[in-house]
Structure 1
Amino acid sequence: MSDIQPDLIDPSSNDLPIDSVEDVLREQYGLSGQVFPIEGRQNPYFLIDNGHMRYLLKVARADAPLQDIEAEHALMRHILREPDGPRVPEPVVTRDGTDTIVLPLGGADRRIRLLTFIDGIAPPADERPSGRTVAAFGSISAALARSLQDFEHPTLEREPEGDLRKAGPQTVALLSSVSDQEVRDVIAKVMVTALRRIQPLGGSLRVAATHQNLDADAVVGDVADGVWLPTGVTDFTGISRGWLVAGFANTCAYMLANLDGDPFALLPAVRAYHEIHPLTLAELEALWPLTVARTGILAAKAENRRVRFPEDHQAQAETEKRRAVLDAATSVSPTLVLAAVLDATGMAKPLPDIGRLLPDIDPETIRLVDLGIASPLLYGGNWADPEIDWKLLARIAWETGRGSTRYGEFRLSKASTGPGEEAENFALHIDVCVPAGTVATAPFAGTLKSAGPQLVFAGRELALHVEGLDCALDEDTELGAGETLGTVAGAENAVGGLRLRLCRDPDLVPPLFCAPGRAGTWSRLCPSPAVLLSIEADAPAPKHPDRPVRGWKEHLFDARGHGLLDLTGNAPLVGHGHPGLAVAIYRQRLLLDTPFSGPSEAEEALSRRLRDLAPQGLETMLVVRRHDDVLDHALNLARTHAARNGIVGVAPQSANDTAVVCADSMEGAATALEEGDKAGLLLAGIPPHPDDRLPDALDALARTGGLLIVDETSTGWGRPGHHAWGFEASNLAPDIVLAGFPGEDVAVLFTRETIAASLDIVADRPGPVACMAASTILDICDEETLRDNARLVGDHLKAGLEELAARHPTIQAVRGTGLHLALAFEGDAAARTVHDALGENGILTAPGGHARLMIAPPLCFSRESADLLIARLEAILSES
Structure 2
Amino acid sequence: MPLQTLAHRAGLAAPNIDAPYVLALLREHYGLTGALHELGSQQDQNWRLDAPEGRFVVKCCRGEYAAAELQAQHAALAHLANLGLPVANVLQSVTGEGLLKAEQRGERFWLRVLRYLEGEPLAGRPHVGPALVARLGALAGQVSQALATFDHPGLDRELQWDPRHLPAVAEHLLPALAGQPRQAQVAACVEQAWAALAPLAGQLPQQAVHLDLTDDNTVWQRDAQRHWQASGIIDFGDLVRTWRVAELAVSCSALLQHGQGDAFVMLPAVRAFHAAAPLSPAEARALWPMVAGRAAVLVLSSARQLQLDPGNRYIQENVAHEWAIFEAVQAVPMALMEAAVLQACGLPTEPLALGPCLPLFPDIAPATVRCVDLGVLSRHFEAGNWEVPGAETLILAEQAGNGVACTRYGEYRLAHTLIDSPQQPPTHALHVELLLPPGTQVQAPFAGTWVADPQGGLQLVAAHACLRVWGVASDLPAGHVVSAGQRLGSAAGPVRVQLAKAGVESPPLFTTAARAQAWQALCPSPAALLGWACDAPADDGAQQWLARREASFARSQKHYYETPPRIERGWRNHLIDMQGRSYLDMLNNVAVLGHGHPRMAQVAARQWSLLNTNSRFHYAAVAQFSERLLERAPAGMDRVFLVNSGTEANDLAIRLARAFSGGTDMLCVLEAYHGWSVATDAISTSIADNPQALQTRPAWVHPVMAPNTYRGAHRGPGSAAAYLADVDAKLARLGEQARQLAGFICEPVYGNAGGIALPTGYLQGVYARVRERGGVCIADEVQVGYGRLGEYFWGFEEQGVVPDIITMAKGMGNGHPLGAVITRRDIAQALEAQGYFFSSAGGSPVSCQVGMAVLDVMEHEKLWENARETGAYFKARLQALVARFALAGAAHGSGFYLGLELVRDRATLEPATEETALLCERLRELGIFMQPTGDHLNILKIKPPMNTTRQSVDFFVDCVAKVLAEGL
- TM interval, shorter chain, is 0.7 to 0.9
Q: Is the 8 A contact 2:371 2:534 kept in 1?
A: no
How far the C-alpha of 1:858 sits from its partner, in A, is 3.5
Which whole-Å deviations, capped at 9, do the CAs of 1:154-213 have from their partners, x for residues lacking one?
Answer: 99999987765565466557779999899987765554433333344456x2343454x7
Confirm or deny that 1:560 pairs with 2:579: yes
List aligned pairs for 1:14-33, cutoff 5 A: none
List aligned pairs for 1:763-782, cutoff 5 A: 763-767=837-841, 771-782=845-856
Instruction: Quote the Cα distance in structure 2 between the aligned partners of 1:568 and 1:181.
Output: 52
Which whole-Å deviations, capped at 9, do the CAs of 1:223-247 have from their partners, x for residues lacking one?
Answer: 534989695698699644x655467
Match of 1:634 in 2: 653
Match of 1:381 in 2: 384
Specify the code of the residue in structure 1 equivalent to 2:823: T
SS of residue matched to 2:404: coil
SS of residue matched to 1:372: coil
How far the C-alpha of 1:338 sits from its partner, in A, is 3.1
TM-score (norm 2): 0.68
Relative to structure 1, is the Cα distance of residues 730 and 123 closer, same or farther in structure 2, using a 3 angstrom cutoff?
A: closer
Instruction: Quote the Cα distance in structure 2 between the aligned partners of 1:385 and 1:512.
Output: 20
Match of 1:449 in 2: 451
Relative to structure 1, is the Cα distance of residues 334 and 81 closer, same or farther in structure 2, using a 3 angstrom cutoff?
A: same
Match of 2:770 in 1: 701
SS of residue matched to 2:542: coil
Relative to structure 1, is the Cα distance of residues 807 and 342 closer, same or farther in structure 2, using a 3 angstrom cutoff?
A: closer
- Stretch of structure 1 that moved more, 573-582 or 635-644: 635-644
1:680 corresponds to which of 726, 740, 743: 743
Match of 1:862 in 2: 949
Confirm or deny that 1:608 pairs with 2:599: no
Q: Is the 8 A contact 2:780 2:807 kept in 1?
A: yes
Which whole-Å deviations, capped at 9, do the CAs of 1:465-512 have from their partners, x for residues lacking one?
Answer: 2112233322122345x333524414xxxxx53222344474632223
SS of residue matched to 1:634: helix
Confirm or deny that 1:798 pairs with 2:867: no
Instruction: Quote the Cα distance in structure 2 between the aligned partners of 1:175 and 1:198.
Output: 20
Specify the code of the residue in structure 1 equivalent to 2:849: S
- Gaps of at least 5 residues in structure 1 are 22-32, 57-63, 93-99, 101-114, 491-495
Q: Is the 8 A contact 1:712 1:725 kept in 2?
A: yes
How far the C-alpha of 1:690 sits from its partner, in A, is 4.9
Match of 1:785 in 2: 859
How far the C-alpha of 1:678 sits from its partner, in A, is 1.6
Match of 1:105 in 2: none
Instruction: Quote the Cα distance in structure 1 between the aligned partners of 2:509 and 2:270.
Output: 28
Q: Is the 8 A contact 1:424 1:514 kept in 2?
A: yes
Match of 1:405 in 2: 408
Q: Is the 8 A contact 1:623 1:766 kept in 2?
A: no
SS of residue matched to 1:338: helix
Report the number of matched residues: 820
Confirm or deny that 1:847 pairs with 2:933: yes
Specify the code of the residue in structure 2 equivalent to 1:286: A
Match of 1:28 in 2: none
1:829 corresponds to which of 897, 911, 935: 911
Relative to structure 1, is the Cα distance of residues 90 and 401 closer, same or farther in structure 2, using a 3 angstrom cutoff?
A: same
Match of 2:194 in 1: 195
Q: Is the 8 A contact 1:435 1:488 kept in 2?
A: no
Match of 1:432 in 2: 434
Relative to structure 1, is the Cα distance of residues 771 and 724 closer, same or farther in structure 2, using a 3 angstrom cutoff?
A: farther
Match of 2:692 in 1: none
Relative to structure 1, is the Cα distance of residues 208 and 775 closer, same or farther in structure 2, using a 3 angstrom cutoff?
A: same
SS of residue matched to 1:416: coil
Relative to structure 1, is the Cα distance of residues 458 and 349 closer, same or farther in structure 2, using a 3 angstrom cutoff?
A: farther
Q: Is the 8 A contact 1:120 1:221 kept in 2?
A: no
Match of 1:26 in 2: none
Match of 1:497 in 2: 494
Confirm or deny that 1:747 pairs with 2:819: yes
How far the C-alpha of 1:152 sits from its partner, in A, is 9.2
How far the C-alpha of 1:121 sits from its partner, in A, is 9.2
Match of 2:598 in 1: 579
Which whole-Å deviations, capped at 9, do the CAs of 1:338-367 have from their partners, x for residues lacking one?
Answer: 344345444452222225553645556544
Which whole-Å deviations, capped at 9, do the CAs of 1:57-107 have from their partners, x for residues lacking one?
Answer: xxxxxxx999x7999699969967996999798999xxxxxxx9xxxxxxx
Match of 1:661 in 2: 702
Confirm or deny that 1:332 pairs with 2:331: yes
Q: Is the 8 A contact 1:144 1:210 kept in 2?
A: no
Q: Is the 8 A contact 2:306 2:315 kept in 1?
A: no
- Stretch of structure 1 that moved more, 777-786 or 69-78: 69-78
List aligned pairs for 1:805-824, cutoff 5 A: 805=879, 808=882, 814-815=892-893, 818-820=895-897
Match of 2:276 in 1: 276
Confirm or deny that 1:599 pairs with 2:596: no
Relative to structure 1, is the Cα distance of residues 649 and 391 closer, same or farther in structure 2, using a 3 angstrom cutoff?
A: same
Q: Is the 8 A contact 1:581 1:773 kept in 2?
A: no
1:465 corresponds to which of 465, 468, 483: 468
Instruction: Quote the Cα distance in structure 2 between the aligned partners of 1:725 and 1:811.
Output: 27
Relative to structure 1, is the Cα distance of residues 600 and 832 closer, same or farther in structure 2, using a 3 angstrom cutoff?
A: farther
Instruction: Quote the Cα distance in structure 1 between the aligned partners of 2:181 and 2:360.
Output: 49
How far the C-alpha of 1:577 sits from its partner, in A, is 1.2
Instruction: Quote the Cα distance in structure 2 between the aligned partners of 1:620 and 1:348.
Output: 69
Which whole-Å deviations, capped at 9, do the CAs of 1:806-837 have from their partners, x for residues lacking one?
Answer: 88476667545x54456788758269966874
Which whole-Å deviations, capped at 9, do the CAs of 1:523-554 have from their partners, x for residues lacking one?
Answer: 44444444543525145343256243222233
Instruction: Quote the Cα distance in structure 1 between the aligned partners of 2:443 and 2:786.
Output: 63
Specify the code of the residue in structure 1 equivalent to 2:467: L
Specify the code of the residue in structure 2 equivalent to 1:512: L
How far the C-alpha of 1:785 sits from its partner, in A, is 1.8
Match of 1:711 in 2: 780
Instruction: Quote the Cα distance in structure 2 between the aligned partners of 1:160 and 1:799.
Output: 59
How far the C-alpha of 1:388 sits from its partner, in A, is 1.5
SS of residue matched to 2:830: coil
Relative to structure 1, is the Cα distance of residues 202 and 642 closer, same or farther in structure 2, using a 3 angstrom cutoff?
A: closer
Instruction: Quote the Cα distance in structure 1 between the aligned partners of 2:881 and 2:298.
Output: 52
Q: Is the 8 A contact 1:447 1:477 kept in 2?
A: yes
Relative to structure 1, is the Cα distance of residues 443 and 669 closer, same or farther in structure 2, using a 3 angstrom cutoff?
A: farther
Q: Is the 8 A contact 1:637 1:756 kept in 2?
A: yes
SS of residue matched to 2:702: strand
Instruction: Quote the Cα distance in structure 2 between the aligned partners of 1:90 and 1:678.
Output: 74
Which whole-Å deviations, capped at 9, do the CAs of 1:530-588 have from their partners, x for residues lacking one?
Answer: 45435251453432562432222332223334433434454233322112212332344
- Gaps of at least 5 residues in structure 2 are 1-8, 10-16, 34-40, 59-64, 98-111, 544-563, 675-679, 684-697, 708-719, 751-756
How far the C-alpha of 1:450 sits from its partner, in A, is 0.8
How far the C-alpha of 1:853 sits from its partner, in A, is 5.9
Confirm or deny that 1:757 pairs with 2:829: yes
Instruction: Quote the Cα distance in structure 2 between the aligned partners of 1:878 and 1:71.
Output: 43
2:511 corresponds to which of 499, 509, 514: 514
Q: Is the 8 A contact 1:467 1:500 kept in 2?
A: yes
Which whole-Å deviations, capped at 9, do the CAs of 1:287-315 have from their partners, x for residues lacking one?
Answer: 333444456567777888899x7x98779
Match of 2:353 in 1: 353
Relative to structure 1, is the Cα distance of residues 797 and 508 closer, same or farther in structure 2, using a 3 angstrom cutoff?
A: same
Specify the code of the residue in structure 2 equivalent to 1:475: A
